[in-house]
Amino acid sequence: MTDIRYRTTAVDGLKIAYREAGTKGAQKLLLLHGFPTSGHMFRDLIPLLADRYHIIAPDLPGFGQSDDPVTNSFDSIAQTIDRFTEIVGFDRYAVYVFDYGAPTGLRLAVKHPERITAIISQNGNAYEEGLSEGWNPIQAYWQNATEENRNALKAFLRPETTAWQYMHGVADPDRVSPDGYSLDNFYLSRPGAEAVQLDLMGDYKSNVALYPAFQDYFRTHRPRFLAVWGKNDPFFLPPGAQAFARDIPDAVIKFFDTGHFALETHADEIAAAIRDFLG
- What pLDDT, in 10s, does the model give residues 34-87? 999 999 999 999 999 999 999 999 999 999 999 999 999 999 999 999 999 999
Mean per-residue pLDDT, 133-145: 97
- b/e map 164-181, b = 16+ CB within 10 Å: ebbebbbeeeeebeeebb
pLDDT of the residue at 200: 98
CB 263 within 8 A of CB 122: yes
260 noted as active-site residue:
yes
Q: Is the dihedral of CA 208, 213, 215, 218 positive or negative?
A: negative
- b/e map 213-225, b = 16+ CB within 10 Å: ebbebbeeeebbb
Beta strands 252-256; 225-230: pairing state: parallel
Cα–Cα separations (whole angstroms), residue 120 to 9, 19, 180, 255: 25, 18, 22, 13
Q: What is the distance between the alpha carbons of residues 196 and 191, in angstroms, rounded to a whole number?
A: 10
pLDDT of the residue at 2: 77
The residues, any chain, with a CB within 8 Å of residue 191's CB and separated by 6 or more, are: none
CB 201 within 8 A of CB 156: yes
Instruction: Please write the tens of the pLDDT for every residue from 206-263.
Output: 999 999 999 999 999 999 999 999 999 999 999 999 999 999 999 999 999 999 999 9
Length of the chain: 279
pTM above 0.75, yes or no: yes
Cα 29 to chain centroid, rounded? 13
pLDDT of the residue at 94: 98
pLDDT of the residue at 1: 62
Mean per-residue pLDDT, 80-104: 98
Query: Considering 33, 54, 260, 266, which one is annotated as catalytic?
Result: 260
Q: What is the distance between the alpha carbons of residues 150 and 254, in angstroms, rounded to a whole number?
A: 35
pLDDT of the residue at 230: 98
CB 231 within 8 A of CB 238: yes
Enumerate domains of the chain plus CATH numbers: 5-278 (3.40.50.1820)
Instruction: Please write the tens of the pLDDT for every residue from 160-205.
Output: 999 999 999 999 999 999 999 999 999 999 999 999 999 999 999 9
Mean per-residue pLDDT, 85-109: 98
Mean per-residue pLDDT, 133-142: 97
- Planar angle of CA 125, 270, 186, nearest 5 degrees: 70
Closest CA to 31 of 79, 99, 89, 127: 99
